[in-house]
Amino acid sequence: EAQVTQNPRYLITVTGKKLTVTCSQNMNHEYMSWYRQDPGLGLRQIYYSMNVEVTDKGDVPEGYKVSRKEKRNFPLILESPSPNQTSLYFCASSVGQGAAQYFGPGTRLTVL
C-alpha cells in the first residue's frame, strides 16, 4: 500500500530535550516536505527536499533541522524544543515539487 508514515504519532516532551520525528514514504517520490498545522494558520511549510541530499528552508524553518540521506526517509529534528513548537506536524511527499502531495497521518507534539 502506497503511504507516508510518521513516528511517533504523539509525543510529549520537555523544553530542550532533543527529539526526532521520522517520516518514510514507499512511493519512490523525489519531493518530501514537513509542515506544521496550528489553529487558524493552516499549514505552514518548515523544510522541503527536492531529492537526496537536497534540502531547503520553507516558511518557518527556525528551530528545526532535516536530513535526506535516503530517498524514502526525511526526518525532522528539533535540537532544543521550545513550547512554541507545540503543534501538529505533517510529512508529505510527491513525485515532484508542486505536484499533488500525499500526507502522513500527523505527529502531535507537546513541548512543556
Partner 1 sequence: GEDVEQSLFLSVREGDSSVINCTYTDSSSTYLYWYKQEPGAGLQLLTYIFSNMDMKQDQRLTVLLNKKDKHLSLRIADTQTGDSAIYFCAERMDSSYKLIFGSGTRLLVRP
- Residues forming the site for partner 1 (CB under 8 A): 4, 35, 40-43, 45, 58, 90, 92, 97-98, 100-106
Smallest gap from Cβ 16 to partner 1, in A, equals 28
Q: What letter would DSSP give residue 3?
A: -
Cell numbers linked to 55: 534540502
Cα(14)–Cα(2) distance, rounded to whole angstroms?
A: 34
CB of 25 to partner 1, least distance (A): 12
Minimal distance in Å, beta carbon 109 to partner 1?
15
Nearer to partner 1, 58 or 63 (CB): 58
Helix (H, G, I), strand (E, B) or coil at 112: coil
Q: Contact, 27 vs 39, CB < 8 A?
A: no
